[in-house]
Amino acid sequence: MFVNVTRAHFVPAASAQEQLAAGERAGAGLVGYIGDPGDLTVVNVNDSVPGGWSATWDTGVLVVDANSVEIDHYRFNCSVVFTGSNPTMTNCKVIPSAGDIFAVTLAGEGNGYLTVQDTTVIGNPNLGTLDYQVNGISSDSGLIAIRCDVSNTGDGIHFVAQPSTPSKISQCYIHDQSFIDEEQHCDGIQGFNHPSSAGSYIIEHTYVARSVSTLGTPMNSASTAGPPSNNTEPLATGTYNNNYFESGLYHLRINFRHQNTVVTNNDLGPVYSGEFANLAVEDPSGIATWTNNRDSDGNLIPQP
């Protein structure tokens, strides 16, 4: 079976400083923290933390309350929860403790944007009945995630469409997600409409690989956004460009409450056993542009 990934350019990066070109898709060894592990300052649970972060420990979780804090070149052996506005994390590695429910998150609507760049997130290493990572990177407010590698999580990345600058997921690689069964409703990328204003989001140059549960059941979707049933939520405008969504009950789900959404140059993987279809668009009137989207055999997928 032919899987069309000719636009992916899966070429190993030469160094941590070499950035993935804007037109390329993410893949193994291309994104996340790919520098020298020895360059990272290690933070374990209950360690002292640098001044200026306004950080405290809460049951093994590092809570960072400073506004506009910038965190660069750290390895966190714990979850990191930001409660101040507009935090930035770059060139980091985050490995939460078993039983944590977040890896990296911005808590609270109206806190600006969480920016996470060139960072690796690895969920709970010891999967148990209750010990699974709910999500890897998430924000209750805006989110910018660029060149991140997320694995061993129940959900990969959560975002909220924003009324000003769009939330953006660019050149991220989400793979080897850990979930117990289909009741976890595991998604690679999960998007929510803004609670009070029409918003927008961008998902581009991103690869969400196939994952199955410990029972062998499929994940819910590689990417899903919008409410699953029609309601009165504010509308969202999505942009999907040059992604590879490999798997899921529906690989790409564009749910209700969308307008002027653009879907271009995406590849959808084969429909594996137990899956329904590679695409679900709940309200086709919300799609404004649909071009050059292909199935696993390289065939053009008609606009819904």
pLDDT at 133: 62
Could you list the residue range(s) of the whole structural domain that residue 215 is in?
37-291
In a domain, 97, yes or no: yes
| Cβ atoms of residues 165 and 135 within 8 Å | no
In a domain, 22, yes or no: no
pLDDT at 14: 34
pLDDT at 137: 98
pLDDT at 13: 37
In a domain, 131, yes or no: yes
Parts of the chain with a pLDDT under 50: 1-17
| Cβ atoms of residues 95 and 122 within 8 Å | yes
Structure tokens at 213: 């549960």
In a domain, 26, yes or no: no
> For residue 253, which amino acid is it?
R
- Split into its structural domains, the chain has a count of 1
In a domain, 46, yes or no: yes
In a domain, 25, yes or no: no
Whole-model pTM: value is 0.92
Task: Classify the phi-psi angles of 214: left when phi > 0, otherwise alpha if psi is within -120 to 50, otherwise beta.
Answer: alpha
pLDDT at 17: 43
pLDDT at 125: 59
Other C-beta atoms closer than 10 Å to the C-beta of 272 total 15
Helix (H, G, I), strand (E, B) or coil at 300: strand
In a domain, 15, yes or no: no
In a domain, 304, yes or no: no
